[in-house]
Every structure is written in structure tokens, then in C-alpha cells.
Chain A
Amino acid sequence: DGGITQSPKYLFRKEGQNVTLSCEQNLNHDAMYWYRQDPGQGLRLIYYSQIVNDFQKGDIAEGYSVSREKKESFPLTVTSAQKNPTAFYLCASSKPGQGNTEAFFGQGTRLTVV
């Protein structure tokens, strides 16, 4: 089945540690996105990438980093510089073009930093 796979579903880390969230898609989509979902805040854009080896900061990029070495993969690293990392993280992909800009979402990763 085509889709977006985020792993793991739940992740626990100690404060001060970097952690990397995985996102893989087999939809042959060019664009990939990372959002953070907090209660009452909706989805806030962290980083996005329209093409391999290129990505742009979203609205809340501080404390996060990404890479896009392959079309299928867009991992997100939550660094120790992120002041409030506990959240639900959603990865999405889309194939920009006429009529194709809708985003398809993974199941999300809930990160808890203790």
C-alpha cells in the first residue's frame, strides 16, 4: 500500500538529548513537510522540502533540523536547543501541481521529553 510511515509512534527521551523522527513515503511525492501539533495551536510548520537536497524553514524551525538526501525520506531531528519538545509531530507529503497540492499525512509520532 502507498502511504507515509512515521516511526516510532511513541518516543521518550531525556532532556538534553537529540532525537530523530523518521518519515518515509512511497507515494513518489516531491514535497514533504513536518508539522507540530499542540492542543489549541493547530498544526505549525517546522520545515518543508520541495525537492531532494533542498529544504526551507517553516514558522517554528528553531531547535529542529532536517535532511532530504532521498526523495522518499525526510527525517526530523529535535535538538537539545528546542525549549519545549514534548509534542505530537506529523509528517506529510504532496505532489505539487495542478490539482495535486493536498497533503497526505502519516500517523504521527508523540514525543515526550522527561
Chain B
Amino acid sequence: AQSVSQHNHHVILSEAASLELGCNYSYGGTVNLFWYVQYPGQHLQLLLKYFSGDPLVKGIKGFEAEFIKSKFSFNLRKPSVQWSDTAEYFCAVYLNRDDKIIFGKGTRLHILP
């Protein structure tokens, strides 16, 4: 079955801590990969994306993600988080053969000042 799994539902960190949010997908075809962020009361916005080429992609606000094809993973990282990173983060996958985008259940990140 096609699915996106985000391992952590709720993460609490102190400011300046390092962050890694896990994302794995289940799909046999070609994919494009995304991380979206939803700040409290705001729209979903794109954090970063992978289509092809260098598997390490950099996004806005110091976030990066690495696509590991053999592990079907696309983990999100940030070396040092800030209080303003408090938000919900969603991993999403475009399934090329099926021509649709599916999302994980999200990870709620809470940064302590």
C-alpha cells in the first residue's frame, strides 16, 4: 500500500538543540519528496523539495533533508533549532505513476525557549 510514515508525532526540544524528523515512504515507483511546515494559524508552506540530483537538499530557515533511496527515507534536519521553529511538519510524496501527492500524519514540534 502507498503510505508515508512519520516516526515522531510530538517532539519537544530546547533552543539550540539539533533536530531530525524521520520520514519513510512505501512506494515502488519514482517519487518527488517534500517537507511542508504549518505554523500556528497559518497556511501550509513548502520547506524544501527533492526531485532529482544531489540527495541532500537545503530549504528555507536552515532546514535540510537527505533522500536515501535504498531506505525509502527523507529525513528532515536542522543543526540548531529556534523557538520560532515551533510548528507542525509534514512529509509528502508525489507518486509519479499514480500522479498524486500523499502526506504523512505530521510531527508537532515544540521548542522550549
Contact = CB atoms under 8 A, between A and B. Distances in A.
Given A42-B105, A101-B94, A102-B49, A96 B44 contact: no
How many chain B residues sit at the interface, stated as a range, is: 20 to 34
A56 interface: yes
Interface in B66-113: 90, 92, 94, 99-106
Contact of A99 (B45, B51, B90): B51
A91 to B, nearest CB: 11
A55 to B, nearest CB: 11
B34 interface: yes
Contacts of B49: 102
A101 B43 contact: no
A49 to B, nearest CB: 10
Given A40-B9, A101-B51, A102-B46, A48 B90 contact: no
A92 B36 CA distance: 13
A28 B43 CA distance: 20
Contacts of A58: 100
Given A40-B9, A101-B32, A105-B44, A35 B103 contact: yes
Contact of B99 (A41, A96, A98, A108): A96
5 contacts: A40-B106, A41-B105, A101-B32, A105-B45, A106-B43
Interface of A: 31, 33, 35, 40-45, 48, 50, 56, 58-59, 90, 92, 94, 96, 98-99, 101-103, 105-108
